[in-house]
Structure 1
Amino acid sequence: MTMNRAVESDLVERLLAGEHRALARVITKIESQTSGYRDLVSEIHAHTGQASVVGITGSPGAGKSTLVDKLAKYYRDQGETVGVIAVDPSSPYTGGAVLGDRIRMASNVGDMDVFFRSMSARGQLGGLSTATADAVKALDAFGKDRIIIETVGAGQNEVDVVKTADTVVVLVQPGSGDDVQMLKAGILEIGDVFVVNKADMEGASRTVAELEEMIHLRDDPRANLDTGHHGAGAFGDSGGHGHGGDHGHGDNAHGHNDTNGHDTAGHDGDEDAAAEVARPVWTPKVIKTIATTGEGIDTLVETLDDHYDYLSESGELTEKARQRASEEIRQLLRSDVNRLLEAEIERRGGIDDFADAVVDKETDPYEVAEDVLEPIRECLEDRDD
């Protein structure tokens, strides 16, 4: 074993033993992608899979940081340990997190069982880099019970959070037509829980009603637009949380034991409806919170736990893990093959020489690509033989 590998193994052992300094060093190596960081991630991989991971996303100003702070405090009050990764915009000069030094966990200052790390998005789509996913593994292996990822508020690109989180929470500000339009543009598809934060502001009930309607239409595009079923009055005393039909939006009960998201009464004997009753289906919830005061946090936590239970019972938790592994393998292969190709291009004189040849009509882009790829293709074909 080389000296560097021995040092890395010692670092992993200290992390697994619960040493916070080792955890911080491992995440630093992961974020900076220093030599040997992949060996670190490989060693901790077998120790992951215990923590529940929640992604918090939404437009800037929705109160994500305050909500994360209150969520962490709630979990700590329950005796659970918490890891928080806040993905900030990348600095165009250093590549580091622009907002990394801001104080965002005011309720948990000095609490060693809340590990907070601000990380750079590094220009990745949705603000989540491979480093962020690996940092989640480090927190998981360390033994954190709950891991929260707060992402950059960058609109539709936030879909990348799905690849890392078990449950996705989307924050929306009251009375913001732009936010609701943003959801229609694509964010609606990724949300497992929608939070109307700052619910004491004017327009909160209307925003709740709009979200309820959009969720209903997403699950059943043929649904009749009946605002009597989906208005603010149907929100329920529980703030959209519940397993039965007493709360939630319209005829749809917002628990994970619901059938297909709309009333199936009147369809006795319908084989499709009967089949759907047998399997759990999750209908997204809408929760009201006032993060600054902590109001609604208990309901939100309850709903997050319900969604995790649903994932476990339905088998989707395993399926999500499989999808994440598949995407991670593809991402690593794309990244590594890209580096190999860049090196091959430089070995042949650089991309500018190829571009000049294309402009001079001596070749074309397709021929260049074939020429550069040929050694790699031959190598793989030889291995098959």
Structure 2
Amino acid sequence: MNRRAATHLEAKQNIVERLRSGDRRAVARLITWAEAGDPRFARALSMFYSSIGSAWRVGVTGPPGAGKSTLVNELAIAHRAAQKTVGILAVDPSSPFTGGALLGDRIRMEDRTSDPGVFIRSMASRDSHGGLARAAIDACDVMDAYGFDEVIVETVGVGQAEYDVVSAADTVLVVLCPGAGDGIQAMKSGLLEVADVLVVNKSDMPGADRLIVDLEEAVELRSRKPAGEWTVPVVACSAGRGQGIDAVLAAVEAHRAHLADGRLEARRGEMREGQVRRLVHEGLESELWHGHGYAERSAEALESGAAPYDVAGEILAEIVGRLPGRGTTRTGAAT
């Protein structure tokens, strides 16, 4: 091992030791590495991966304006009152110029930032959906390994990137509010499929009762499952008034109890398998597309007038033909 490699290893070991000793700056640094795709993160993760698994991860998603940040703030208050520590990841939209995360969610939660039992981090929605999911899961792993009792991930919207993020949670809260057509939107966008708990926020507003009934009917239509399967509850709250938070927490705890007896392990196992697939996909795309000249070949073919499907088909055929047991070997001999 050369001197530079030894220095890098020592630095990674040092930051992992700091993480385990309760240094919040190590949490921030590791998340920065994860978000940037820094290779140091993967090597550090292997050192603290055995410490992951104690935190309960809650994903909070829903349309803009549903009051997700307010709800997350109230959940954090309730957890702190119960002497639990909380790590919060707020996934914000990217600036088209800098790619940086806006601090709106952190501003709305500013009364929590001075609490040593709460850690809040914003993360930008990068152009790559897979990259966002990877970085968000990595950030949750860091907060889990640090020792937070509860980890909450809030997404800004309801797109595929947000689905990928919250699908890595143990319990997913879908937050809706009356008067915005959220019930119809939830049914059209597939929000009901991702939800473990449906939360009707701003339940003091007109139309809340109708939305609750609509959601309960929708759940009933989609809940023809074998006995013992989870039925998604519809919970009303008014986070801005601090009302109904106990009911939301009770629904989360009920789902947590439901996942006992092996269900949690199966759910987390599926999440990790999905994580591996994303990592392999990202690595292959980067290596093949940029490392083997396919990006340039594609550009040249398109410029010459070739159709995208034809270009993609030719590239895929060449890649598949190089796989072991397919087409020809590296030396060109028939297989």
Same fold at TM > 0.5: yes
- Give the paired residue count: 323
Name which of 159, 178, 183 aligns with 1:180.
183
Bigger CA drift: 292-301 or 34-43? 34-43
Q: Which residue of 1 aligns with 2:138?
A: 134
Equivalent position of 2:82 in the other structure: 78
The answer for the alignment partner of 2:280 in structure 1 is 333
Change in 2 beyond 3 A, CA 1:161/1:45: same
Aligned to 1:129, the other structure's residue is in SS state: helix
Larger mean Cα displacement after TM superposition, 79-88 or 147-156: 147-156
Structure 2 counterpart of 1:193, one-letter code:
V
C-alpha contact (below 8 Å) 1:158/1:187 kept by paired residues = no
Contact 1:126 1:152 in 2 (8 A): no
**Could you list the per-position Cα deviations for residues 306-348 of structure 1 after superposition, in whole angstroms to 9, with x for gaps in the alignment?**
11111113x2211111111111111111111111112344389
User: How do residues 131-280 of structure 1 correspond to structure 2 at under 5 angstroms?
Assistant: 131-155=135-159, 158-176=162-180, 178-185=181-188, 186-220=190-224, 280=228
Aligned residue among 293, 300, 321 for 2:268:
321
- 1:167 to 1:127, Cα distance in 2 relative to 1, 3 A: farther
- Tell me the secondary structure at the aligned position of residue 170 of structure 1: strand
Gaps of 5+ in 1: 221-259, 261-275
- The alpha-carbon deviation at position 107 of structure 1 amounts to 3.6
Query: In 2 relative to 1, CA 371–125 (structure 1 residues): closer, same or farther, beyond 3 Å?
Result: closer
- 2:253 aligned partner: 305
Partner Cα separation in structure 1 for residue 322 and residue 160 of structure 2: 39
How far has the Cα of 1:355 moved from its partner? 3.5
Q: 1:187-232 CA distances to partner (integer Å, 9 max, x unpaired)?
A: 1111111111111111111111111111111114xxxxxxxxxxxx
Q: CA 1:289–1:180 in structure 2 vs 1: closer, same or farther (change >3 Å)?
A: same
CA contact (8 A) 1:358 1:365 kept: no
Identity between Structure 1 and Structure 2 (%): 38
Give the structure-1-normalised TM-score.
0.77
Counterpart residue number, 1:246 = none
Task: Report if aligned partners of 1:97, 1:120 keep a CA contact under 8 Å in 2.
Answer: yes
Alignment of 1:52-131 (within 5 A): 52-99=56-103, 102-125=106-129, 128-131=132-135
Please point out which of 26, 34, 38 is paired with 1:34.
Answer: 38
Q: Does 1:292 align with 2:240?
A: yes
Question: Distance in 2 between the 1:201 and 1:100 partners?
Answer: 24
For CA contacts below 8 A with separation 6 or more, give which structure has more relative contact order.
2
**Which protein is richer in helix relative to its size?**
2
Residue by residue over 1:135-178, the C-alpha shift from the partner in whole angstroms, topping out at 9 and shown as x without a partner, is 000000000000000012235764324431011101111233x2
In the aligned structure 2, how far is the partner of 1:283 from the partner of 1:347? 47
In structure 2, the gaps of 5 or more residues are none
